[in-house]
Amino acid sequence: MSREIQIKDKEFELFITEEKIRERIHRIAGRMNRELKDKNPLFIAVLNGSFLFAAELLRHLNFLPEISFVKLSSYRGTSSTGEVNDLIGLNEDLRARNVVILEDIIDTGITIDFLIKDVKRHNPSSIKVATLTFKKQALVKPVDPDYIGFEVPNTFLVGFGLDYDQLGRNLNGIYKLKDHRNA
């Protein structure tokens, strides 16, 4: 795993290793195995960013949940547009279901807030949120995820699903934007 990478105009440095990411995801899977096994949960993974988190997590569950995918986006470049585009793909019957939303990152919380409200309209029994990374300091909506991989600082990250201009999603580690202020 290289320690530094360049994507277009930006330099990134390794922040969380693949080993550490997988270990955290397996720990979340362990908790879900205890807490959700008997609840017939429906997992909803938010595309594009959560595909690797969802894959690693779901492969470590010891029960047989339903899994679906939705797509929504609010981001351009390295800063939030603050506006969520339409939700694509929520076709499941969510009535009386225990829904678990899977996200790659919660930044301002605007996206997950939008999705939670949308899911609520379908009258599920419960909604839980699992996110690989959580920029708690960047929140502008009151979001309190049930399962958190890493609390991360308010800096731009790529890798393990997270992109910069659609690139870097396939990196095995999570990299952070290099800070040149002290260089």
Residue numbers at the binding site for ligand IMP (CB under 6 A): 49, 74-75, 80, 103-112, 156-158, 162-163
Q: Which of 41, 49, 159, 168 binds Mg ion (CB under 5 A)?
A: 49
Rounded alpha-carbon distances, angstroms, from residue 21 to 70, 114, 119, 132, 133:
23, 27, 28, 8, 10
Q: Which residue is nearest to Mg ion (CB)?
A: 49
Q: Closest CB to Mg ion among 88 and 96?
A: 88
What are the backbone dihedrals phi and psi of residue 39, each rounded to the nearest 5 degrees, phi first? -105, 5
Q: Closest CB to ligand IMP among 98 and 111?
A: 111
- Is 107 in the active site? yes
CB of 127 to Mg ion, least distance (A): 17
Q: Closest CB to ligand IMP among 28 and 175?
A: 175
The rounded distance, in Å, linking the Cα atoms of 8 and 163 is: 12
The rounded distance, in Å, linking the Cα atoms of 25 and 18 is: 11
Rounded alpha-carbon distances, angstroms, from residue 65 to 5, 42, 49, 68, 114:
37, 6, 20, 10, 24
Q: Is 109 an interacting residue with respect to Mg ion (CB under 5 A)?
A: no
CB of 99 to ligand IMP, least distance (A): 17
The item of ligand IMP, Mg ion, none sharing an interface with residue 157, based on CB under 5 to 8 Å by kind, is: ligand IMP
- Name the catalytic one among 93, 107, 118, 179: 107
Q: What is the DSSP string of 98-132?
A: EEEEEEEEESSSHHHHHHHHHHHTT--SEEEEEEE
The item of Mg ion, ligand IMP, none sharing an interface with residue 109, based on CB under 5 to 8 Å by kind, is: ligand IMP
Residue located via tokens 């981001």: 75
Catalytic residues: 107
Which residues lie near Mg ion (CB under 5 A)? 49, 104
